[in-house]
Amino acid sequence: MAAASDDETTGGRAAKPAGQRAYAAIRAGILGGAFPPGGFIEEGQACELTGVSRTPVREALTRLAAEGFVELHPRRGAMVRPLLGSELRDLLEVRRMIESHAIRRICEDRRAVPGGLYGLCESREAASVNDLLTSVEINTRFHHGIVEAAGNGVLTKAYEGLHASLGRASMLSLQMKFGDSDLINQEHRELLDALSAHDAEAALAVLQRHLRPIPQLMAVLPA
């Protein structure tokens, strides 16, 4: 019998494409610290980790390079890019601008807060304190949902470009104990309550408190 291809169905259900599986596994390894900054990910190592062939691994590494997670070096593999303090400073500035604008737009236009955002709060609260990857993924979806609720597609697209760096910063903040998961959950609730009341001043104050661990993280990262 022929060997199953990377993308064949398993257990009667269609499996995720091999490239997507490789991308998710390698990205999780970078965020979780299995692939440390400055280290190299070799194709053979990635194939063994993900259980797929070299072609989808190359596709995954190319995508991760485009998102800023790695730098590709011929014959050496993919180097995990360190997150720099200067990069994080610029990221914080743009993130604050986008999310603050979204908050004002939601409140001024008296837009409804999507119910799914409360569901994300519940999911994050239910996640294990040790499952940092799940917490970070939910956190990214939560803040994306707020920006999306402002109804500006161009703004939302611009924010999507920050996802990779935001995820890395959130993970590092939790790993280095600059961020407290319970406090993050509480601030998410407070932010949604302020948005539901269309109280822009209160929502912006919560956002300002919510972002305070980032300068602490910037101080310990390489410049």
For the segment 170-190, what is each residue's pLDDT rounded down to a tens digit?
999 988 988 889 999 999 999
Residue 63 confidence (pLDDT) above 50: yes
Please name the residue that has the structure tokens 């310990």.
Answer: 220
Same domain, 211 and 147: yes
Average pLDDT, the chain: 91
Residue finishing a domain among 80, 95, 124: 80
Torsion sign over Cα 66, 72, 74, 78: negative
Residue 82 confidence (pLDDT) above 70: yes
Residue 193 lies in a domain: yes
- What are the counts of helices (DSSP H) followed by strands (DSSP E) for the chain? 11, 3
Strands (E) across the chain are located at 40-41, 70-73, 77-80
* pLDDT tens for each residue of 92-125: 999 999 999 999 999 999 999 999 999 999 999 9
Residue finishing a domain among 80, 111, 132: 80
pLDDT of residue 189: 98
Same domain, 100 and 184: yes
- Distance from C-alpha of 138 to C-alpha of 151, rounded to nearest angstrom: 21
Question: What is the total residue count of the chain?
Answer: 223
- Distance from C-alpha of 144 to C-alpha of 202, rounded to nearest angstrom: 19
Same domain, 75 and 163: no
Residue 5 lies in a domain: no
Residue 9 confidence (pLDDT) above 90: no
* pLDDT tens for each residue of 131-146: 899 999 999 999 999 9
DSSP letter (8 states) at residue 123: H
Same domain, 110 and 196: yes
Residue 206 lies in a domain: yes
Q: Under a CB-based contact definition with an 8 Å cutoff, are residues 50 and 21 in contact?
A: yes
Please name the residue that has the structure tokens 């091999």.
Answer: 18
Domain that holds residue 115: 85-220
Please name the residue that has the structure tokens 């691994």.
Answer: 57
Same domain, 105 and 35: no
Please state the pTM of the whole predicted model. Answer: 0.85
pLDDT band for position 6 (cuts 50, 70, 90): low
Same domain, 148 and 118: yes
- Distance from C-alpha of 33 to C-alpha of 2, rounded to nearest angstrom: 37
**How many structural domains are present in the chain?**
2
* Phi, psi for residue 41 in degrees, rounded to 5: -105, 110
Residue 2 lies in a domain: no
Residue 11 lies in a domain: no
Of 54, 52, 66, 67, the closest CA to residue 17 belongs to 52
